[in-house]
Amino acid sequence: MLLQRVPLGIVTIWIVTMIVFAATQLLPGNAALAVLGKNATPERLAALEKQMGLDQSPVAQYWHWFSGLLQGDPGRSLVNQQTISSLTGPQVLNSAALVVTAGILGTLIGVAVGLVAAVLRDSPLDHALAATALAILSLPEFVIAIFVTVLFSTNVFHWFPAVSALPPGARPWDHVSMLVLPTIVLVIVIAPYVFRMMRAATVEALESEYGEMAGLKGLTKRQVLLRHALPNAVAPTVQAIGLNLLYLAGGIVVVESVYNYPGVGQALYQAILNKDVPTIQFLVTLLAAFYVIVNIITDVLALMATPRRRLQR
């Protein structure tokens, strides 16, 4: 599977780079005009375009950018001439810290609550948890963010800052209090998906023929759950966890905007405003590579969690 998926993933990322480059060429205006402003003279505009390499053909611009990307050099920002790696590195780190923290907490909570609901299926607690999860899934992220902010920061309790604007150069783990509200919002958003998948997979395993046979052989409910139901419920749950991580990579933009968190979402938004094409291309390609890698890892983990799928038939 890896021999097939890895080359396909590389080709996919390469195709994405071409699509992203073509899309950025369609943006109105250019970076030189954004830097000089609307009152720029044609002479200054032409000189700056030549300095930035904007006077080259699209093919030459793409090859210059793509070859640098292969060498680990995504280029320089067209707006302030800083290297893109140094400009976006801290913001990528900030978003990664938020995604990893929310992903781990959301997964643990979703798996634990899903197991409880599966064991107590059709009970009042099970119905209450299912209804709560469905209600949360129907709400947009910004609505949940407003509710969490009102509850923990402004009106009811005043425990955490309402804005998560990290100081320039600061690392996210140095200001843990600013990560709390965005993390809570993301955990609330992704945990119901893991909960629903874990509950459904566990209930299906418990009601299967091998689950019933294990009970008839005298195993306790706990033994049936841990030895038979849980191992077979892991694979579909891993797929749900992978989808949640992919969602966080893109859906985190809304939460970052609400809390003014300096992450990838903010960097991409500013790059689009400034027509900073190399920065846009790098960030979108980075997100696409993350999607491809997580998909491959998720499929491998799901395969490892299901021994019978590893046998050729």
Q: What is the rounded distance in angstroms from the CA atom of residue 203 to the CA atom of residue 205?
A: 5
Which own/partner pairs from 176-179 qualify as long-range (CB within 8 Å, at least 24 positions apart)? 178/261, 179/97, 179/98, 179/101
User: Could you tell me if 55 and 107 lie in one domain?
Assistant: no
User: Could you tell me if 23 and 125 lie in one domain?
Assistant: no
Is 73 a member of any domain? yes
Q: How far is CA 194 from CA 111, 147, 246, in A?
A: 6, 22, 13
pLDDT of residue 275: 72
Domain that includes residue 110, residue range: 90-262
Is 85 a member of any domain? no
User: Could you tell me if 248 and 108 lie in one domain?
Assistant: yes
Q: Percent helix, strand and coil across the chain, each rounded to 5?
A: 75, 0, 20
User: Could you tell me if 134 and 255 lie in one domain?
Assistant: yes
Q: How far is CA 248 from CA 92, 99, 291, in A?
A: 13, 6, 10
User: Could you tell me if 288 and 253 lie in one domain?
Assistant: no
pLDDT of residue 279: 82
Is 212 a member of any domain? yes
Q: What is the mean pLDDT of each run of 10 residues along the chain (313 residues)?
A: 85 86 68 61 68 69 79 75 78 84 87 84 86 84 83 79 73 77 86 85 74 67 69 75 77 76 80 77 84 84 68 54
User: Could you tell me if 167 and 249 lie in one domain?
Assistant: yes
pLDDT of residue 226: 67
The full DSSP string for 154-188 is ISS---S-S---PPTT--GGG-HHHHHHHHHHHHH
Is 269 a member of any domain? no
CATH of the domain at 161: 1.10.3720.10
User: Could you tell me if 180 and 308 lie in one domain?
Assistant: no
Is 268 a member of any domain? no
Is 267 a member of any domain? no
User: Could you tell me if 20 and 51 lie in one domain?
Assistant: yes
| pTM, 2 dp | 0.74
User: Could you tell me if 278 and 238 lie in one domain?
Assistant: no
User: Could you tell me if 118 and 172 lie in one domain?
Assistant: yes
- In DSSP terms, 76 is beta-bridged to 83
Is 121 a member of any domain? yes
pLDDT of residue 150: 85
In total, how many domains does the chain have?
Answer: 2
User: Could you tell me if 113 and 231 lie in one domain?
Assistant: yes
pLDDT of residue 309: 59
User: Could you tell me if 132 and 235 lie in one domain?
Assistant: yes
